[in-house]
Amino acid sequence: MRLSGRVALITGGSRGIGKATARIFAAEGAQVAITGRDDGRLQEAARELGVPGFAGDIRRSADVGSVVGRTMDRFGRIDILVNNAGIFPEVMPLHETPEEKWTEVIDVNLTGQFRYTKSVIPHMMEGGGCIINVSSDAGLRSFENFEADSYSAAKAAIIHLTRAWAVEYARYRIRVNCVCPGIVETDMTEPFLRTEADRAMAVAEHPIGRIGSPDDVARSILYFASEESSWVTGAVLPVDGGVSVK
């Protein structure tokens, strides 16, 4: 029970990596709240996991404040924030990308993480806490034929902000770390894994010989949330089957 007595708020908690993290955190003794924009799907996941789900749009500061406030009202504290929520854009070359599409991805995948971090940090400044950002291999390196520039830009910025926030808030005993998944089998990546040829190509990208599961990433997030990493802050961990070191 590595998280016994701890309270965790997980964004994008109704599916994929967020849902797997919520399940593992609860099994490790944490009190968990999940949030997402789709209230129907969120409440279905909340019932399955046995945790509260507080709906809110990460693009709206008022919604973010409401989710954090409801978590505080329910549990009285927030010890762990997992910045997991994100969207993937329609793949297209930069010169064909409409500005509104660029802005939407940056707003959700970068500014949304700023909104949640800004809202949660005051509740951690007295007793310390952990923030885990979910970035991507796309924030670590460029990939041929990966035409999702707004996504790459947001994920790279989150990596740098992880280090900046780690230094900025270390004096409050707030640790900030980051995981960078490769291709993980979720509903977000499902459109890219529809055929056997697509899947074989994705597997071939990973030296370890398979694509990831949500639990692969969730277990890494658990490490950063637990006391096992009590002397670790500002770390950026690829969880990608070796893609980033090719």
Positions annotated as catalytic residues are: 151
Where are the alpha helices (H) located in the chain, listed in sequence order? Answer: 16-27, 39-49, 61-75, 99-106, 112-124, 149-169, 196-204, 214-225
Local structure of 96: helix, strand or coil:
helix
Residue in the structure block whose two tokens are 């505080």: 72
Cβ-proximal residues to 81 (8 Å cutoff; 6+ apart), any chain:
8, 9, 11, 116, 117, 120, 129, 130, 131, 132
Q: Which two tokens stand for residue 88?
A: 């993937």
Local structure of 232: helix, strand or coil:
coil
